Chain A
Amino acid sequence: MTQYIIRRLLYSLPLLMGVNILTFVLFFVVNSPGDMARMQLGQKHVTEQSIANWKQQHGYDVPLLWNSDAQGEKKITDTIFYQKSVGLFLFRFGVSDSGRNIGADIKERAWPSLAVALPTLIVGLLVNICFALLMVLFRNSYLEHAGIVLCVILMSISSLFYIIGGQFFIGKILRLVPISGYDDGIAAIKFLILPVLIGVFSGIGSGARWYRTLFLEEVEKDYVRTARAKGLSETQTLFQHVLPNAMIPILTGVVVVLPLLFMGSLIMESFFSIPGLGSYTIDAINSQDFAIVRAMVFLGSVLYVIGLLLTDISYTLVDPRVRLS
């Protein structure tokens, strides 16, 4: 088991390297450090000197990839690429191009993201599973047909509509909860209700359908027939036999997104003005702050790799066929 984990971690190193290189290439093909300096300093009335100063301050005064002026190994290490990347691997994100400490920002903003994403995930999971179970219980009846039609309709409505509509009806007309914003501590709850509710509602269509497919696949299997031959009723079979088996793919599908919850949903955070990591990234893209973007991409990939690892581990824990072979 531990050997497996070690092997996967070793494999993830070239992966992270690849991600890093790709981000670097993407970003610097578009912008040169000079352009970035100009952008940060404000487009007009900048002198060559202030640009050079800014570059030196932020470590952009050396060449991008290959420093032909330096000696020996410094040819590689005295470059933007090396300098900026090494820190990442040690999780020292450094300072953003606008001067803020990225590490501290990330730590602070991770919690709001989580506060929205985690409840959405859990509540959504419960609602979707219940709905899917209901549809399977009543399969081949009109109720099921109505359920499927409802799911397709819900799926076809854009999430933007749910957000805007939700904000409008609940926030403005009914005035139950504030439309957007955030607060610290327990007071945050009233700001979270709307995003979580809308997040869950917009996901019912596709989620319930997907789980229904999983359940139906299990229901067709032979051991369900054995269970019925034992004398179990339809409901008992569903809950005691189908559900535990179907939970394996469901859980592993959920586990893989768990780490990414920290990154937050970009749209939700923007619409509801939640100061999470999602909006952090969006703002960085808009202001072309490479330092933040690089850090966020790296963080995202690390979390993704962890997610993949967790999925494999959870398979081992949940499925006895994998655990005991």
Chain B
Amino acid sequence: MNNPILAVERLSITFNHRQTVVDDISFEIHAGETFALVGESGSGKSITALSVLRLLPNNARLNAEAINLHGDDLLGRSEFELCKIRGRRIGFIFQDPMSSLNPVMTIGSQIEEVIKLHFDLTRDALKQRALELLQQVELPQARQRINDYPHQLSGGQRQRVMIAIALAGKPDLLIADEPTTSLDVTIQAQILALLKNIQQQTGMALWLISHDLALVSSIADRVAVMQQGKIVETGATAEFFNQPKHPYTRKLLSALPSMQSCLTHSTEEKPPLLQVSDFYCHYPIRKGIFKRIVDYVRAVDGVSFDIQQGKTLALVGESGCGKTTLGKSLLNLIPGSGRVVINGVELNALTGEALRRQRANIQIVFQDPFSSMNPRMLVGDIIAEGIRALHPKVSLEQRKARVRQLLQQVDLPEDSALRYPHEFSGGQRQRICIARALAVDPKLIVCDEPTSALDVSVQAQIIQLLKTLQQEKGVSYLFITHDLAVVAEIADDVAVMYQGKIIEQGGVAEVLTQPKHAYTQKLLAAVPVLKMDH
């Protein structure tokens, strides 16, 4: 076994002298290997990586017995010496490439900056080297795009640029902090393949930080799991995923949604609740002195589907395909046109007061549990808001009783009604949002990526809650998501969206096991599957 490239011994990090975020962890990374550090949000994995480079925020205190890079001590180095190491011997890839790149510098100059810092090259040699790097990360049309600004590139392309910047110093160790979390699943697969390729070409070590176990299983050699600042289990990948030892690891693995569960859904036909035909959402593009309409952005371009009573239709697609627009415009939050019939009532024919009264039938749960509730309102008032608006005759006592009942149904304690949203965790907040939607007894709930911002174990709980509520109340869901594994868990039917159109729909087992459209096939191929076999 070669000498470890990075050896961390007994590292602890505290904030404000009180809060311990990393608690006495030790690990090693060897040359040429891919080491994955996994954990849920708040476990301390990103902070650990930043601490190696000493890029911690001001109020953090670092304490360790040793941090060695190839045998050299990093802990005792001065800031000046660390500047020589950053970028040159350790490269870092951050999570969100849009905000991690300087918006007013061209990508070429941002790459050249790193090279200039650590190597002594002529101007032409610099430009040449930058171009080589862009080609190495497989950026299409690198020669033309080298003078572009970050906002002119797509998400995947920006991440390639980040990788190029990290590679420019020819580092021994590459740290990637959730490099694909903000990318679409097809792009994610490409970026991961790229990283693995480069690693094999250069022989450097790759330290991958992620919350996505399935993704990690496809690329890592060794895995370590962090829980609340401690490393609870380490091991080679095969052993780790097939025979997890620690209960937390086991809990994480069992919470993963699996594609197999698509086979467990019933295919019994029920009467249709929602019928959508020929639905459009066109945004006008205005140009010219008098802002005349020249063209339209076809966010949703002629979509038709049905949802049966008590069943779940999953609407799947990548970012920009129009699925969120469709979901929101069904509730008239975004203007759209087309025929929408729910329970026999034609919604598109209604306006004003009549439309308002129909609102009880369709409700929505949003993606971000932090911004979907008014931070200055009590939870009880938040939940009761719909009742107040749509059933004004209900008395205060009756409302309070209903709120208590709803809190019980979503498994939250009764006294939650007198607290504020910020006192709850992400998963709990999502439960409050579900309670809010249920308060007016809707027939259909549009769930707009409700679990995308949650940890995997919390996600499993929320999915279970939704299923239970569906069984008890017979409510239908339009579940919008980009995660095919979640689709397999929760949906009865699937509709795949691409560029504003539904390109394939059908029963979940059928679509997921025998996809007909090329795009569906591409999506399915890109989903990281947990390799549990030997």
The interface of chain A, by Cβ under 8 A from chain B, is 3, 6-7, 10, 140, 221-223, 225-233, 240-241, 244-245, 248, 319-321, 324-325
Contact = CB atoms under 8 A, between A and B. Distances in A.
Contact of B151 (A6, A225, A227, A321): A321
A274 to B, nearest CB: 39
B92 A229 contact: yes
Contacts of B87: 229-231
Interface of B: 53, 55, 58, 79-80, 83-88, 91-92, 94, 96, 99-105, 113-114, 117-118, 149, 151-152, 162, 165, 169, 287-291
Contacts of B86: 228-231
B99 A221 contact: yes
A222 B100 contact: yes
Contacts of A10: 289
Nearest to A322: B151
B174 to A, nearest CB: 12
A140 B165 contact: no
A232 B113 CA distance: 9
B104 A231 contact: no
Contact of B58 (A3, A140, A233, A240): A140
A324 B107 CA distance: 14
A245 B103 contact: yes
B289 A320 contact: no
Contact of A225 (B84, B100, B104): B100
A157 B162 CA distance: 49
Contacts of A225: 55, 94, 100
Contact of A320 (B80, B94, B96, B103): B103
4 closest A-B pairs by beta carbon, nearest first, are A231-B87, A222-B99, A230-B87, A231-B86
A229 B83 CA distance: 8
Contact of B289 (A6, A140, A226, A241): A6
A241 B169 contact: no
Given A7-B289, A223-B101, A319-B104, 16 more contacts: A221-B99, A222-B94, A222-B96, A222-B99, A223-B103, A225-B94, A229-B94, A231-B118, A231-B169, A232-B113, A244-B104, A244-B105, A245-B103, A320-B103, A324-B152, A325-B151
Contacts, number: 85
A232 B58 contact: no
Nearest to B287: A3
Contacts of A244: 102, 104-105
A-side interface mostly = helix
B87 to A, nearest CB: 4
A140 B60 CA distance: 13
Contacts of A6: 289
Contacts of A228: 55, 86
A288 B84 CA distance: 70
B104 A226 contact: no
A226 B94 CA distance: 8
Nearest to A325: B151
Given A229-B92, A231-B87, A223 B100 contact: yes
A88 B55 CA distance: 61
Nearest to A242: B102
A325 B149 CA distance: 11
Nearest to A323: B149
Contacts of B288: 3
Given A228-B55, A229-B92, A230-B117, A3 B104 contact: no
Given A3-B288, A223-B99, A231-B84, A320 B104 contact: yes
A47 to B, nearest CB: 56
Contacts of A140: 58
B297 to A, nearest CB: 14
Contacts of B287: 3
A231 B89 CA distance: 10
